[in-house]
Structure 1
Amino acid sequence: MRAVRTARRMDAARGALSAAALALVGLLGACGGGGGGGGAALPLAAPAALAPGDDPIVPSSSVQGQCAAPRGGIDPDTGAAFPDQPGSATTEKRWLRAWIDETYLWYAEIPSTLVAGEYATPLAYFNVLKTPLSTPSGRPKDRFHFTADTAQYRGLSQGGVLIGYGLELAFLSAAPPRDIRVAFTEPGSPAAQAAFDRGLKLVEIDGIDVVAGADVAALNAALSPTRVGETHSFKLQAPDGSLRSVSLAAAAVTRTSVQNVKTIATDSGPVGYMLFNDHTAGAEAQLVAAIYQFKAASVSDLVIDMRYNGGGFLDIASELAYMVATPAATRGTVFEALRFNSKNPFRITAAQATVPFHATARGFSVSAGLPLPQLGLSRVIVLAGPDTCSASESVVNGLRGVGIAVDLIGGGTCGKPYGFYPQDNCGTTYFAIQFQGVNQQGFGDYGDGFVPTCAVADDFGHALGDTAESRLAAALTLRSTGACPAAPQARGGGALGKAEATETPYLIRSPLRENRIISRP
């Protein structure tokens, strides 16, 4: 479970993987993006302008791995010793400036007034090495620049393992009077075993008032446990007003990316439903199993609940899109084409910059090359909201690009048509936007997110997958009648909640889960 921060979510601060003070402090990092195109290698552009007195930009390879605190031991990714050599914070910052200049999508928009010596740490320097420009709506163009501890990143992206309670919270109001609800739990987790059902409201943590309490440090410490066995007490309020107290001990929780796979009987045929929360490596096997289950049930339509899916591996998104769509739509077409900056920093050919609809497993958690099942649908309904981000939006854009109708039910999506190659240096993995993704039709300009077909508030009064839950009910109504239902009275308001209306995500989570990540060619 993520620590609490401001209700506005602070688009410009989706940063470093660390706890954020409740209703006071945002995450430390931010990230980047930009235009340009892939294709054959292009001549290098002139070095970026520098502030007077700053060090000249050198090739990043000449200062890579020169660390203030070199790592010892074996790199589990390579099986060889870590490449770190003795260096300093200054050499780490020189590598950052060079790497950004070479690979950042909007490298030409980096302010020329930044002086490395004015920033105490490489992380502080990295946080400002991004474009200051805005989207058409006025949101920061680059609100995704961030960093993570390399070991933590590896654990989450490969195994989906985190220390915590297996509890995901929705912050309906993070400023006093706070309203913090259970969004969902991971199967078998401490929270699930303690019946932390969706919609329960947090009233107290370790005796501290959650609604109006001022001891945010203690609240954050309890919400973000750092070791297995760490125990904290919670008082919860049910929708009927009843209270109960529960103690939770943190554990190493493996995320189950695909949950609630079910078939809903309707008068016009069976409809498949699944909750899909993360494009992690383990999701590959879970998605394949779900699609086989839907094929066996001969579903005529599919509802994919991605309202809380922040993204992950782009190849997983491509596999899912292939398994949903028709053979004719996916044969020989582009799922997503990657556009890099004018320097073509990774020397990627046009073919390498094209992600097809994968017809076989990529080997994340299913044997590489195994043929994938295909439902052959011409339409799909996606439950979405401001927490639907990056690779999840690629599923929508990629399917629409080949003529598959995609209806969105809920709120507007986060707006991240960008991605990156994660880059480790000295034990920190840096994420700076290096490409923009476009579909078969060349469309990828959704920096302000996708607008829903039917605007429907998130409903914390029903379990996810319950046909009475507002968004799923609206999806079934749209499917059967072709029209959006009248706004349901979710949370007593009837319209989108404040967070959704301001395109502010509910979930306070690591930016590692709001990504479009691809492997290097």
Structure 2
Amino acid sequence: MELGLQRLAALLAVCAAAVALSACGGGGGGGGGAFLPLAATPQPPAAPAAEDDAIVASSSVAGLCAAPRTGIDPDTGAAFIDRAGTSVDEKRWVRGWIDETYLWFDEVPTTLASKDYATPIAWFSVLKTPALTASGRAKDRFHFTQDTAAYRALSQGGVGVGYGLELAFLSASPPRDVRVAYTEPNSPAAQAGIVRGTRVLEIDGIDVASGSDTTKLNAGLAPAREGEAHSFKLRAPDGTERTLSLAAARVTRVPVQNVKTIATASGPVGYMQFNDHLATAEAALIAAVNQLQGAGIVDLVIDMRYNGGGLLDVASELASMVSSGGATSGAVFERLLFNSKNPFRLAPAQTTLPFHATSRGFSTPAGQALPRLGLSRVTVLAGPDTCSASESVINSLRGVGVTVNLVGGATCGKPYGFLPQDNCGTTYFAIQFQGVNNQGFGDYGDGFAPTCAVADDFDHALGDPAEARLAAALTFRSSGACPTAGSSKAELALRKSEAQGTPYLVRSPARESRLVVTGPPTQP
């Protein structure tokens, strides 16, 4: 399939790692979640034996759907291209698209038979490389699909159905330990006064720590529609317990929070909690940098421990605002390396994203000069849920000589990207490129190791100077020494998990992404 630049402009992304619990969901914030690795979904009868696996051009079967959509495609403004077809047609499209565009198309096992997989999604799930990283993790742990309409709502507006809770699974097996990482402002959870560190004890009367009815637990964590209500028994950080009902609502994520200045002996240090590279983050980041610039900060801590990624252009804007024009002018923010077929027929210049010096127009007028902090050093609070576009910020700044100190745990390791592609109402995400920085580096499939390994601290609010990771960042910048690690059993277990890059947030894979939606890269 030959895709032109207009299609490339639609979306380029890095997909998500399998969540620690083999779940896809938003942790109650914007989608579903899961407690335990779910049993395999019972498969309907296999496709007829007449089905064959000859690879055809995906364009020849695109839009041939078992259940064609009608109406207008919001992405194009024209009618959906869907027309009557079969699930066999959809599977043929999947196989052709993988063969044409998948970064490791020549590593897909040739012994697989589509008739052994009942649905196009099941067939897609196995069409990937079986290779491993140096640490033994799957090289491609990022394959996933999502309902197209749900993906559009989340990626474009940060809107999903949930409670506004971002949940962290500190222990996924009994006795389970599920805590609130943070809440979204004005969400049902925030309005109920639920704070970071709150432990979830029961859902609809079922014990979270040891309950076996994961179906009901999952249903409580992953409300399917607005107004759906479930009962939660919670224990606050101060030890008080209460039971309350939460009703799911449409929750809009606030990507930039807690922008503040912290006084230190060597001058004011800026802090910002940056959770998602959404379109709305553009205006929020510009406002945050202006605020910190006005405060005369001498250093900056960006809290991206829970930032799964998003718009790569926003990541480029942030990196530019952190650094100086001298460091980034004419430099590569990220270069995209595709498979040997050059499936999107791109010239080298078209695979290069620069450091943006002006706004892109996502949530602020395009073409405005971005403010700059002009820093040669920045500290990032990171962990296994720091993914994709967030890792691009780290890698790109290091690529132009900016010192990036990481405090926390190893990042998740997603140097790869893809062009999400809709077919028949399902959006497919398969790795199609690797991103490298100005020095040509992009080999971090096992994540970036922390400068200072510090376990996540659920006993303090994010942005509190006493919170373990922020406190360690402030200590390191002033003394150059990492604090002594704690030795409690819980902290040691958590640090081991984080060092191995094991994520513990339960959220939608689409929230762990790298997206380019502004068309072919242009010069700043």
TM-score, scaled relative to structure 1: 0.91
Are 1:314 and 2:312 matched, yes or no? yes
* Residues 443-468 of structure 1: per-residue CA shift (max 9 Å, x gap): 00000100000000000000000000
Structure 1 CA distance for aligned equivalents of residues 96 and 69 of structure 2: 22
SS state at 1:493 partner:
helix
Alignment of 1:13-412 (within 5 A): 19=32, 21-25=34-38, 54-412=52-410
Contact 2:410 2:500 survives alignment (8 Å): no
1:501: how far off?
3.9
From the superposition, tell whether residues 21 and 406 of structure 1 become closer, same or farther in structure 2 (CA, over 3 Å).
closer
- Contact persistence 2:168–2:179 (CA under 8 A): yes
Comparing 391-400 with 499-508, which one deviates more in the overlay?
499-508
Q: How far is the alpha carbon of 1:59 from its aligned partner?
A: 1.4
Residue 488 of structure 1 and its aligned partner are, at CA, apart by 4.2
User: Match of 2:166, SS?
Assistant: strand
**Separation in 2, partners of 1:156, 1:512:** 8
- Letter aligned with residue 442 of structure 1: G
Deviations 1:51-76 (A, max 9, x none): x9833212111111111110001111
Name the CA shift for 1:151/1:8 in 2 (closer, same or farther; >3 Å). Answer: closer
Instruction: Tell me if structure 1 keeps the 8 A contact 2:32–2:223.
Output: no
**Partner secondary structure for residue 176 of structure 1:** coil
Rate the CA distance shift 1:79–1:431 in 2: closer, same or farther, 3 A. Answer: same
What's the CA shift for 1:494? 5.8
- The answer to whether the 8 A contact 2:170-2:178 is kept is yes
SS of aligned partner of 2:234: strand
Aligned counterpart for 1:486 among listed residues 455, 459, 484: 484
Deviation at 1:21, TM superposition (A): 4.4
- What is the identity, as a one-letter code, of the residue corresponding to 2:482? C
TM-score of the two chains, using structure 2 as the length reference:
0.90
Displacement of 1:24 in angstroms is 3.4
Distance across 1 between alignment mates of 2:57 and 2:475: 57
Which runs of structure 2 are paired with 1:410-421 in the superposition (5 Å)?
410-421=408-419
Residue identity matched to 1:100: I
Q: Which moved more, 1:277-286 or 1:485-494?
A: 485-494
Task: Work out whether residues 15 and 145 of structure 1, in 8 Å CA contact, stay in contact via their aligned partners in 2.
Answer: no
CA distance in 1, matches of 2:489, 2:239: 14
How many pairs align?
491
Query: Is the deviation greater in 182-191 or in 226-235?
Result: 226-235
Report the alpha carbon displacement of residue 503 of structure 1 after superposing the two structures with TM. 2.2
In the aligned structure 2, how far is the partner of 1:430 from the partner of 1:359? 32
2-side partners of 1:176 and 1:378: how far apart?
45
Q: Could you tell me which amino acid in structure 1 is paired with residue 414 of structure 2?
A: K
Report if the CA contact (8 A) 2:161-2:249 is conserved. yes
Query: What is the match of residue 449 of structure 2?
Result: 451
AA partner of residue 74 (structure 2): P
1:466 is aligned to 464
Tell whether the 8 Å contact from 2:32 to 2:508 is kept in structure 1 after alignment: no
RMSD: 2.1
Give the aligned partner of residue 5 of structure 2: none
Does the Cα contact within 8 Å between 2:31 and 2:160 map onto a contact in 1?
Answer: no
Offset, 1:493: 3.3
- Return the structure number with greater relative CO, CA threshold 8 A, min gap 6: 2
AA of the residue aligned to 1:358: H
In structure 1, distance between residues paired with 2:159 and 2:118: 32
For 1:483, what is the secondary structure of its paired residue? coil
SS in 2 for 1:337: strand
Map of 1:47 onto structure 2: none
Residue type matched to 2:126 in 1?
Answer: V
Residue 316 of structure 1: how far off its partner (Å): 1.0
CA positional deviation for 1:175:
1.2
SS of alignment partner, residue 366 of structure 1: coil
Q: Counterpart of 1:124 in 2: which secondary structure?
A: helix
